[in-house]
Chain A
Amino acid sequence: MVLIRKFEEAAAKAYSVGKIGGFLHLYIGQEAVGVGSIAALTPHDYIVSTYRDHGHALARGLHPNPLMAELFGKATGISKGNGGSMHFFDKNAHFMGGHGIVGGHISLAAGIAFASKYKKEDSVTICFFGEGAANIGSFHEGLNLAAIWKLPVVFICENNHYAMGTPEYRALAVKDVSVRAYAYDIARDHIEGDEVRKVRDHVKVAVDRARRGEGPTLIEVSTYRFRGHSMSDPAKYRTKEELEAYKKKDPLMRARHELELGGLKPEELDQMELDIQTQIDDAYAFAESSPEPPLSQLHKYVYAEDK
Chain B
Amino acid sequence: MAILTYREALNRAMVEEMEKDPLIYLMGEEVGHYQGAYKVSQGMLDKFGEERVIDTPISENGFAGIGVGSAMVGLRPIIEFMTWNFSLVAIDQIINSAAKMNYMSGGQFPMPIVFRGAGGAGGRLGAQHSQAFESWYAHCPGLKVVCPATPKDAYGLLKSSIRDNNPTIFIESEVLYGSKGEVPDDEYTIPLGLGEIKRKGTDITLVTWSRALSFALEAAEILEKEGISVEIVDLRSLRPLDENLIYESVKKTNRAVVVEEGWPVAGFGAQISHLIQKNAFSYLDHPVERVTQMDVPMSYAANLERMSLPNANRVADTIREMLR
**A110 proximity list for chain B (CB < 8 A):** 62, 65-66, 69
**Which stretch (A23-31, A55-63, A114-122) binds chain B?**
A114-122
Q: How far is the CB of B41 from chain A (nearest CB, A)?
A: 18
Q: Judge whether B229 is part of the interface by a CB distance below 8 angstroms.
A: no
- Check: A200 CB closer than 8 A to any chain B CB: no
Picked from A79, A115, A141, A144, the residue with its CB within 8 Å of the CB of B75 is A115
Contact A115 B74 (CB under 8 A): yes
Q: Does B104 contact A (CB under 8 A)?
A: yes
A91 CB contact (under 8 Å) in B56, B59, B63, B108: B108
Tell which of A94-102, A205-213, A237-245 binds the partner.
Answer: A94-102
Interface residue B107 (Cβ < 8 Å from any Cβ of A): yes
Stretch in contact with the other chain, from B92-100, B152-160, B209-217, B289-297 = B92-100
Q: Beyond A81-B106, A87-B105, A104-B92, is A114–B69 a contact (Cβ under 8 Å)? A: yes
User: Chain A 106-146, CB within 8 Å of chain B: the 1/0 string?
Assistant: 11111111111011000000000000000001100110110
The answer to whether B69 and A107 have CB atoms under 8 Å apart is: yes
The answer to whether A5 has its CB under 8 Å from any CB of chain B is no
**Given A81-B106, A118-B51, A141-B59 in contact, is the A101-B69 Cβ separation under 8 Å?**
no
Listed residue (B62, B63, B110) with the most chain A CB atoms within 10 angstroms of its CB? B62
Interface residues of B in 69-93 (CB under 8 A from A): 69-75, 92-93
CB-CB under 8 A from A150, the residues of chain B are: none
Given A104-B65, A104-B96, A145-B63, CB of A112 within 8 Å of CB of B105:
no
Taking the nearest CB of chain A, how far is it from the CB of B5, in angstroms? Answer: 31
Contact of B104 among A89, A116, A306 (CB under 8 A): A89
Judge whether B178 is part of the interface by a CB distance below 8 angstroms: no
**In the complex, A307 has a CB within 8 A of chain B:** yes
Let me know if B25 is at the binding interface, CB within 8 A. Answer: yes
Q: A residues within 8 A CB of B103?
A: 82, 301-302
Residue of B nearest to A115 (CB): B70
The interface residues of chain A lying within 8 Å CB-to-CB of B68 are 107-108, 111
The minimal Cβ–Cβ distance linking A298 to chain B, given in whole angstroms, is: 10
Q: Verify B104–A138 contact, CB threshold 8 A.
A: no
Roughly how many angstroms separate A80 CA and B107 CA in the complex, as a whole number? 9
B273 in the interface (beta carbon within 8 A): no
Known: A107-B69, A112-B69. A137 touches B61 (CB 8 A): yes
Which residues from A are CB-within-8-Å of B253? none
Contacts across chains A and B counted by CB atoms under 8 Å: 147
Given the known inter-chain contacts A101-B96, A110-B65, please indicate yes or no for A83 contacting B105, CB distance below 8 A.
yes
Distance in angstroms between the alpha carbons of A107 and B92 in the assembled complex: 11
Known contacts A80-B107, A112-B72, A307-B107; is-contact A145 B142 (Cβ 8 Å): no
Across the interface, which residues of A come within 8 angstroms of B56, CB to CB? 145
Min distance, Cβ B20 to any Cβ of chain A, angstroms: 17
Q: B141 contacts the other chain (Cβ, under 8 Å)?
A: yes
* B57 CB within 8 Å of chain A: yes
Known: A104-B93, A138-B62, A144-B59. A82 touches B70 (CB 8 A): no
Residues from chain B with a CB closer than 8 A to the CB of A107 are 61-66, 68-69, 93
- Kindly report which residue of chain A lies nearest to residue B62, judged by CB atoms: A141
**Most chain A CB atoms below 10 A, which of B51, B61, B93, B144:** B61
A142 to chain B: closest residue by CB? B62
Task: Considering the complex, give the chain A residue whose CB is closest to the CB of B240.
Answer: A303
- Contact pick for A111, options B69, B104, B109, B110, CB 8 Å: B69
**Contacting residues of chain B (220-254) with chain A, CB-CB under 8 angstroms:** none
Q: Which of B72, B106, B144, B164 contacts A96 (CB 8 A)?
A: B72
CB pair A46–B73 under 8 Å, yes or no, is yes
Asked if A90 is an interface residue, CB under 8 A from chain B, the answer is yes
Give complex CA distance A77, B106 in Å: 9
Tell me whether A265 is interfacial, beta carbon within 8 Å. no
B104 to A79, Cβ gap below 8 A? Answer: yes
| Contact between chains at B69 and A301 (CB < 8 Å) | no
What is the bound-complex CA distance between A304 and B63, given in angstroms?
23
The contact string, 1 if C-beta is below 8 Å from chain B, for chain A 148-162, is 100000000000000
Q: What's the Cα separation between A100 and B92 when bound, in Å? A: 11
Partner of A114, one of B64, B66, B107: B66
Tell me the complex Cα distance, A116–B102, Å: 21
- The yes or no answer to A305 lying at the interface (CB within 8 A) is yes
User: With A77-B106, A108-B97 known to touch, is A302 a contact of B69 (CB < 8 Å)?
Assistant: no
Contact A108 B106 (CB under 8 A): no
Can you add 12 more A-B contacts, CB < 8 Å, to A78-B106, A145-B57? A82-B104, A87-B104, A97-B105, A101-B92, A101-B97, A104-B92, A106-B65, A108-B68, A112-B72, A118-B70, A118-B75, A307-B107
Q: List 10 A-B contacts (CB under 8 A).
A: A78-B106, A91-B109, A104-B92, A104-B97, A107-B61, A107-B62, A108-B68, A141-B62, A145-B56, A145-B66
List the 5 closest pairs (A to B, CB-CB), nearest first.
Answer: A111-B69, A107-B65, A141-B62, A80-B106, A304-B110
